[in-house]
Structure 1
Amino acid sequence: MQSNDSHIDKFLQAFYSTQNSTKNIDDFSHEMNLYEGSKIDKKLLEAFEQIGSYEFKTVTLSLGEKVSNIETIPPSQGVKMALPNNLPPALKAALQKIGVSSFYPHQVEALTALRAGKDITLSTPTSSGKTLCYLPAILESCLNDPTTYSMLLFPLKALANDQMRKLKRLISMLPAPTTIKAGMMTGDVSKEERKLLFIPVPPHSLGMNPDLLHFELYGTSKPDKEAWRQYLRSLRFVVIDEAHSYLGSFGSHFANLMRRLRVAVDSVGGNSDQIQYILSTATIGNPVEMSLRFTGREATPERLELIERSGAGTAGRTLVCLKPNQSVSIDASQLAISLMLKKLTTLIFTPTKTGAKNLLALIQQNLRQQHLGHLTNEVAVFYGSLKSNRRNDIIQQLQEGRIKVVISTSALECGIDLPEIDCVIVRGWSGSIMSFRQQIGRCGRQSAGLAIFLPTASEPLDNFYGGNPQLLLSTPAEKAVFNPDYAVTMAQHLRCSAVEAGVPAPKLTYYFGDKAIAVANALRAQRMVWIDNGVIRAKGYPHKEVTLRGNSIDTIELIDKDTGEMFEEVPLEQAFREVHTGAIYTAQDALGNVTKYKSEHLNVEEHNCILTPIEADTKYFTTADTDLEITTLTTLGESQIIPTRLQEGKIRLTHYWSQIANSVTGYSLMTRVCDRTCTNPQCKYHHKYPVKGEKCASCSSSIRLAEITKVMTQEIFPENLTTRFQAPAIKVEINAALTEAVKIYVNGLKAKISSQYKIIPSQYLSLWESTSTAVALHSMAHQIILATPLVVLSSSLDLDFIIAKEGNHTTGYFFETSKGGNGSSDAVFNNFKDFALAAKSLAENCDCSGGCPRCLTIFRCPQQNRDLNKEVGLFLLNILTNLPAVTAQ
């Protein structure tokens, strides 16, 4: 039989010879006969024929048997409506000057709703023109009443820059003497520039991120902030762009920030009830529920209009999914270069900043090896900690066509308008269905787009979606879940509000909800707030203790030792992992060249790190060795003993206030070499260790030359680099009777697996390599975490779990993931059986066989999704929920 590569070659020849033909797939039956008896699926060829672009077809064909699925979303015709006749003439003329001569139906619907005084939530697809759903209404109001002000909140810097650029361009087209002022306040804008924005009058439209609003509200009652008070007094519109970004703890903080904003508006003589909220979001499972929590208008849902049907046309998009493999970076590099040579612009998403920079170095190296070194400056890397001028420069060069490939973290996932993108490569799982669809939505805006998913074989989530590619477009998007009433978070923001403007005690529940009374009483008992003439007041600067997005406020400046220039700024926890002394760090200079540094000294006290440039083509890299440790500080009430179906089997839960320490304990200096390795993807030695002999000693499979990672040296720090935060945690222990029952079940399961497989698949190896208790606890905990949104108003992002050894006993800890906590562990502790029932239902009703991201694996697992087994987790959940226990067959 001919090799499959030979089949591909023959098909390519047939395709190229008829590229200008009008024949359909039936006319190629003689070419398709080549595939009879081969591994190539005819359904893929039929799907391939639906790809409209010749360039996209050649790219897809070049991937050969790596392709597992092709889905084509056909283009659709948009519906256009004339600009409303009752638009102010100046605004209508300005819109026409920027090329807007018509509206889509959903844009007219939004304008009508806003004119009627309603709040709106825009949940239309990507590239549907959400910005023009609200800008006309805001500018119309400004033209009719020059004292109308709007606040535009953006979660990401790149998004803020892009949206404000659009707004200013439209404003610039308004004829004289019309003067509408717009400005932006982010961390990249100096304090002096921020002050100038309010001289002589405030900006009519002010772009901000929530982090800066948090600190800006502090000045509400300060004597020198009259212009800020004037702005708040006449605040009419609040735009919450990319609202789906506010998940978990971040969402809880943001909802309370909106409560403080309403207090501040009313305290200066404004009317927060007249504010109109405009929320723009990706497709999520609960847009109305999310919106009402942010606006605080759960009691008046009729004020909100959901707009989710788009009248915009689409250019069509093809999604190509590859089979999971270990060479995704090599594949991504080859694809990027191929697309560059076809003059196509490509955006590559990677899960981590380190992955993005490593891929940049690989692409530039491959370009030089292929005598294409003149193209290296057409490739750039983009992430949030880059200096603002570098980020803006990359976007500008991309829009001008001088950069053809951008490798990005999720920093370019949201909203920013990049119609120049032809192709998107998703290298590694995005973390959620919602994020994945946002990422592939970056291409195919003005013309047909190609998206390619490259799943990594060693990552459980990649493996699942790589093996089930049909779910990528059919699975419902996740819900945006958060708890705005978590006591610790509410207390932080209530203190801030009491300092900023004072909270009228009779209206406490109006602003902060029913649970605010207990929170305020607790703060009064600690003398952190007091009541003065019916107003809750506080003093000091509690704002500095609040972190909206995470646990680290401290940042480290990265400084080039040769030039003395600061080229990046990163959070402390990230600095410990990436620029510890001895670390090799990758960056990119202003010309687009990869630069590599060796960290000479990380100075936490001075908030900087000195790095020395080294050879850019060095093959060495470093990886930090990390550890997570939970130290219990005080108990939060009595332990609970949870009975089970097993007569003597019990679980003990103890709720603690704890310290969570993330430590970098040392690092490994590594390199990539070509060596002999096992070809069996299920083997533990696959692409990991050099293998001697003709066959793998572990699984007897054949071996071949491949790139593997080799550890050169390992360093252990004399003192760990540690960041700490405090939050609630739950210690989980099972007694001897339950431990024995789990062991018996696992032994039976191992016997069953051994009888079915000659070589044990890697997904089952944990049953042999770890204790049965560790597998049971870890699996059950993951299943409970994933079921969290089914039980309470929390996100599965709010809770994590680790297995711990304490003497001869294996225990586990649920712990909350944000400083001060978020309430999720309280709910689990007080309603454990409800969570177990939900987890059992979720896992049993999942149609996967061995566990998947919906019922077992978690993207951010601190222990890399080791020691997991769906059946063992379900065994424990079945015993817990008083249902007949499962026995191994």
Structure 2
Amino acid sequence: MTGSPFLHSGDATAPTYGRELLDRLLAGTPTGESPLTHVAEIPARPAHHSDWPQWAHEEVVRAFRTQGVERPWHHQASAADIAAGGENVVVSTGTASGKSIAYQLPVLSALADDPQATALYLSPTKALGADQLRAVTELTSDIDALSSVCACAYDGDTSTEIRQWTRRHSRWIFTNPDMLHLSLLPAHARWARLWRRLRYVVVDECHSYRGVFGSHVALILRRLRRVARRYGADPVFVLASATTAEPGAAASRLIGAPCREVTEDGSPHGPRTVAMWEPPLLRELTGEHGAPVRRAAGTEAARLLADLVVEGARTLAFVRSRHGAELTAMGARRLLAEAAPDLVDRVAAYRAGYLAEDRRDLEAALSDGRLLGVASTNALELGVDIAGLDAVIVAGFPGTVASFRQQGGRAGRRGQGSLVVLVARDDPLDTYLVHHPEALLDRPVEATVTDPNNPYVLGPQLLCAASELPLSDAEVEEFGALDVLTALAEQGLIRRRPHGWFVTPGTQPHGDVEIRGGIGHQVSIVEGDTGRMLGTVDAARAPATVHPGAVHLHQGETFVVDELYLEDGIALVHAEDPEWSTSAREITDICCVSVDEHREFGPVTVASVGVEVTHRVVGYLRRLPSGEVLDQFPLDMPEHTLDTRAVMYTIDPDLLDLIGVTPDRVPGALHAAEHAAIGLLPLLATCDRGDIGGVSTDLHPDTGLPTVFVYDGQPGGAGFAERGYHRITKWLTATRDAVAACECAAGCPSCVYSPKCGNGNDPLDKAGAVAVLDAVLAAIGG
């Protein structure tokens, strides 16, 4: 149990409902297992209300009251006040805190006061946009002053007739960054009515715009601002975010303008019990090199879900993959068939890809109690109104603290006591978190990382901007883009003229920019028998993700890749449901091309560097859900070169001798430290382990020293390695603690093994990694 001072201790004499549920889960734990590592009792939080602002339109306030909102919570009124005063604002508060009122109030008041005013709403998913449009439509249906608002969706599913009607009549358009990039901005003259009187731009769930996708969106929003200025408008941006570190700074980077932040959450919630749950290492199964493996998080989640359903608790289990969600629901139903057959039909799986009607039916069934248990992907994480949940199981850390809080916040949405359980996967970050719960439950959480200056993102986006309106010299200077534009001019894509930069005739850049799909040309994933296109992957990642034999998941269906034709940009697959998953093995070389920042700490040097990384996929493993490795197959794939950014540190060999890491142990110690560091960087930057890579060597030719690199997996970088450089002490401290906390003897997937190591996780020296990390931290003052 926990003794950590940061955690709120509950009243032992009056256990909450969440604690009662946890005790029942523990009672059902197999004899000899002790999976519970920490418990936090988070007390109830009372509501903090404010009065309706004086500027708010009377009919809008009346509509809110009709829906049961007698007074706004403090954060809603504060953010709305800032926006109404003409300043950009981001409201960063917890799940179910009513952030939508923070933008609905100023937007609807402005639209009611000015019958010509317009607004734009942007969301990362169509489902969230549809939910918010439905809420606004219900709110405005009986308001005479808003009868001309005609709020409408404008996305890929909108018919041609509705698109034309929306362009002519709608005053509040609900869309996404993709449509803004591909339709509204390039055809801005056809949308002149929208741009001329644009008062507000709402950016919902803005914490989801991170990495390369976030960098694209940041530049799209800059393009939006310059087009609006062309028509005489200067809209106020209102952003809604989950709880993140430095939300104001992140929002300012995203929109390219100053942004105030509101972070004090005035909404109430009931008492919440948060449990950290680590499945045991299995004696009967081993992984690579005989390393122990843990019971799979999905398997454990299925048992917990079944136990909670038996207790009558409405429970949502978040699982990282669609296939995993289906397996978890099936596992829970199988257990219930033995223990409580009448409850089998009250458990279901939920994933993206369902029709909107099916999704709403399932949400309603979970809310009203017809369903007691649902296993879901993160499709239910964003902005879906499900109330009255008693428990949430998070099967595997979802990648960011913000996502964990978003998912856990689904529990107790009506103010009653609730339970949240994080079930650790076989992963270094999960291991760290279940033994250091302050990283989840205390501030700060990660900052959202974007890098709009990445030349691989900036160049194509500048071509789009110049095709919309010529770029002036002042704008080029503001973007810091002269070198990028000069390179584009040498390629014949843009031309400098006396009145600015103009794209050359025939250049149509918008369709070539994949804002979600990475950088470079795309490989289409096609079902060979039917010709159905399942999706795309950028060419750089294709050898590792859609190589022959790879298992590919698409909306709950499983496919196996037959052939990959990189030059033609196509991967052919067939439907199959194997019992294993696949993970590619890569070999990687790295060379430094620039040193942009560095700090010396005696025998240790830390640097932020530009690097050239050469990858080649050499094989893949087939692995059972238990973690057991079935077999390995060789592959002969072409090399791929990546120009990107990295954080590195070097260590003087004398220091390694001093700490007892002899020359024969150095490769394994650095290799293990590199793997663990890759696993822990997502703690500080909103990235996934798959977004970054690493290389370690006992003698690197560019440094002449033992060196560890961790690099961004996107051309030009994505900001993750830079974040690691600036937070290296906290990052490596967490890395060291995660490795030391794992109870395995010599290393396992929970600490230093990597699922994509091209060297087959050999050599690895767990004890050497702890010694190296201790020495590095001592040198840099950690």
Fold-level similarity (TM above 0.5): yes
Looking at structure 1, the residues matched to 734 and 19 of structure 2 have their Cα atoms a distance apart, in angstroms, of 42
Q: Hey, what does 1:871 align to over in structure 2?
A: 771
* Cα contact 1:640–1:652 (8 A) shared by 2: yes
Q: Which residue of 2 aligns with 1:727?
A: 643
Three-state SS of the structure 1 residue aligned to 2:457 is helix
1:424 Cα shift? 0.8
Q: Structure 2 residue aligned with 1:250, among 197, 207, 213? A: 213
The CA distance in 2 between the partners of 1:168 and 1:432, in whole Å, is: 33
**Secondary structure class of the residue paired with 1:102:** coil
State how far apart, in whole Å, the 2-side matches of 1:309 and 1:135 are: 19
Q: Residues 822-876 of structure 1, C-alpha deviation per residue, up to 9 Å, x if partnerless?
A: 4777x79xxxxx95x96358646999485689xx979998549965624314546
Amino acid at match of 2:214: G
Task: Pick the aligned partner of 1:801 from 675, 694, 715.
Answer: 694
Residues 349, 306 of structure 1: alpha-carbon distance in 2 compared, 3 angstrom cutoff: same
What SS class does the counterpart of residue 331 from structure 1 fall into?
helix
Instruction: Give 1:431 deviation, angstroms.
Output: 2.6
Q: Gaps spanning 5+ residues in structure 1: where?
A: 1-34, 36-42, 299-303, 590-594, 615-619, 673-687, 689-708, 751-766, 829-833
Tell me which amino acid in the other structure corresponds to 2:586.
L
Q: Where does residue 815 of structure 1 map in the other structure?
A: 711
Q: Which amino acid aligns with 2:24?
A: V
Question: Alpha-carbon deviation of 1:276?
Answer: 0.5
| Counterpart pick for 1:161 among 127, 130, 138 | 130
Inter-partner Cα distance in structure 1 for 2:53 and 2:140:
19
Is 1:414–2:388 an aligned residue pair?
A: no
Tell me, yes or no, if the aligned pair for 1:577 and 1:624 is still in contact at 8 Å. no
Residue 232 of structure 1 and its aligned partner are, at CA, apart by 2.1
Partner of 1:428: 396
Shift of 1:399: 4.4
Give the equivalent residue in structure 1 for 2:500.
535
1:232 aligned to which of 192, 195, 217: 195
Q: Which amino acid aligns with 1:413?
A: E
**Residues 1:220 and 2:174 aligned together:** no
Give the alignment of 1:375-774 within 5 angstroms. Answer: 375-376=344-345, 378-383=347-352, 391=359, 394-395=362-363, 397-399=365-367, 401-456=369-424, 458-509=426-477, 512-513=478-479, 515-539=480-504, 540-551=507-518, 554=522, 569=535, 571=537, 611-612=574-575, 621-630=579-588, 636=593, 656-658=611-613, 660=615, 663=617, 665-666=619-620, 668=622, 670=624, 709=628, 711=630, 715-716=633-634, 720=637, 726-728=642-644, 741=654, 744-745=657-658, 748=660, 771-774=665-668
Residue matched to 1:679: none
From 261, 264, 270, the counterpart of 2:232:
270
In the aligned structure 1, how far is the partner of 2:117 from the partner of 2:203? 18
- Cα 1:852–1:430 shift into 2, 3 Å: farther
Q: Name the SS for the 2:382 alignment partner.
A: coil
- Shift of the alpha carbon at 1:237? 0.6
- Aligned partner of 1:234: which letter? R
Deviation at 1:132, TM superposition (A): 0.8
Q: Secondary structure at the match of 1:237?
A: strand
Residue 245 (structure 1) shift? 2.0
Aligned-CA RMSD value = 4.9
- Higher relative contact order (CA closer than 8 Å, sequence separation 6+): 2
Q: Deviations over 1:520-544 (max 9, x none)?
A: 3444454432233412211412234
Distance 1:55 1:436, change over 3 A: same
For residues 46 and 796 of structure 1, the distance between their equivalents in structure 2, rounded to whole angstroms, comes to: 39
Shift of 1:446: 1.0
Task: Letter of the 1:329 partner, please give it.
Answer: G
Pick aligned residue for 1:105 from 63, 69, 74? 74
Deviation at 1:372, TM superposition (A): 2.7
Is the deviation greater in 129-138 or in 111-120?
Answer: 111-120
Residues of 2 paired with 1:431 and 1:312: CA distance?
26
Q: Distance in 2 between matches of 1:668 and 1:524?
A: 47
Q: Name 1:9's counterpart in structure 2.
A: none
Query: For 1:422 and 1:378, how far apart are their aligned partners in 2?
Result: 15
Q: Which has the larger radius of gyration?
A: 1
Q: Given residue 213 of structure 2, which amino acid in structure 1 is its aligned partner? A: F
* CA distance, structure 2, for counterparts of residue 500 and residue 256 of structure 1: 13
Does the Cα contact within 8 Å between 2:323 and 2:558 map onto a contact in 1? no
Amino acid at match of 2:514: T
Alignment partners' CA distance in 2, 1:86 and 1:456 = 49
**Matches of 1:71 and 1:432, distance apart in 2:** 19
Partner SS state of residue 520, structure 1: helix
Q: CA 1:587/1:359 → structure 2, altered by over 3 Å: closer, same or farther?
A: farther
TM-score (norm 1): 0.70
**Counterpart contact for 2:432–2:738, Cα < 8 Å:** no
Counterpart residue number, 1:39: none
Equivalence for 2:270: 315
Q: 1:743 touches 1:773 (CA, 8 Å); kept in 2?
A: no
Say if 1:483 and 1:793, in contact at 8 Å, map to a contact too: no
How far apart, in 1, do the equivalents of 2:446 and 2:37 lie? 25
Is 1:775 aligned to 2:691, yes or no? no
Residue 396 of structure 2 contacts residue 423 of structure 2 at CA under 8 Å; is this kept in 1? yes
Aligned to 2:286: none
Change (3 A) 1:330 1:481: closer
Q: Displacement of 1:654 after TM fit?
A: 8.9
Instruction: Indicate whether 1:147 and 2:116 are aligned.
Output: yes
> 2-side partners of 1:308 and 1:781: how far apart?
35
3-state SS in 2 of match to 1:70: strand
8 A contact 2:675–2:752 mirrored in 1? no
SS at match of 1:380: strand
Quote how far apart the aligned CAs of 1:799 are. Answer: 5.1
Which residue is 2:37 aligned to?
68
Q: Does 1:288 align with 2:181?
A: no
- After the TM superposition, which of the residue ranges 254-263 and 385-394 deviates more from structure 2? 385-394
Name the CA distance, whole Å, in 2 between partners of 1:725 and 1:190.
40
Trace 1:181-192 onto structure 2 (pairs within 5 A): 181-187=150-156, 189-190=157-158, 192=160
Residue 297 and residue 800 in structure 1: after superposition, are their counterparts in 2 closer, same or farther (change >3 A)?
same
Identity %: 22
Does the 8 Å CA contact 2:112/2:146 hold for their aligned counterparts? Answer: no
Assess if the C-alpha contact under 8 Å between 2:16 and 2:271 holds in 1.
no
Query: Shift in Å at residue 78 of structure 1?
Result: 1.8
Report the CA distance shift for 1:182/1:474 in structure 2 as closer, same or farther (over 3 A). Answer: same
Distance 1:339 1:424 in 2: 10
Opposite residue 801 of structure 1, the aligned amino acid is G
User: Which piece of structure 1 moves more, 149-158 or 89-98?
Assistant: 89-98
For 2:686 and 2:308, locate their aligned partners in 1 and report how far apart those are by CA, in whole Å. 44
Aligned residue for 1:478, secondary structure, equals: coil
Structure 2 distance, partners of 1:640, 1:806, is 21
Cα distance in structure 1, aligned partners of 2:731 and 2:565? 47
Cα 1:371–1:410 shift into 2, 3 Å: closer
Task: Pick closer, same or farther for the CA change 1:530–1:232 going to 2, 3 Å.
Answer: same
Displacement after TM superposition at 1:626 (Å): 0.3
Query: What SS does structure 2 have at the residue aligned with 1:198?
Result: helix
Q: CA separation of 1:499/1:85 partners in 2, compared to 1, >3 Å: closer, same or farther? A: closer
Contact 1:160 1:207 in 2 (8 A): yes
Give the Cα–Cα distance (whole angstroms) in 1 for the partners of residues 213 and 694 of structure 2. 20
Measured in 2, the distance between the counterparts of 1:376 and 1:626 equals: 38
Shift in alpha-carbon separation, 1:342–1:640, aligned structure 2, 3 A: closer
Query: Secondary structure of 1:114's partner?
Result: helix
Instruction: Find the aligned partners of 2:46 and 2:163 in 1 and give their Cα distance.
Output: 47
Residue 45 of structure 1: how far off its partner (Å): 9.4
Taking the aligned partners of 2:136 and 2:634, their CA distance within structure 1 comes to: 52
Question: 1:334, CA displacement in angstroms?
Answer: 1.9
For the residue of structure 2 that corresponds to 1:503, the secondary structure is coil
| Contact 1:581/1:601 (<8 A) preserved | yes
> How far apart, CA to CA, are the structure 1 residues paired with 2:535 and 2:117?
37
Deviation at 1:396, TM superposition (A): 5.0
Counterpart of 1:839 (choices 725, 728, 738) is 728
- Conserved 8 A contact 1:658-1:729: no
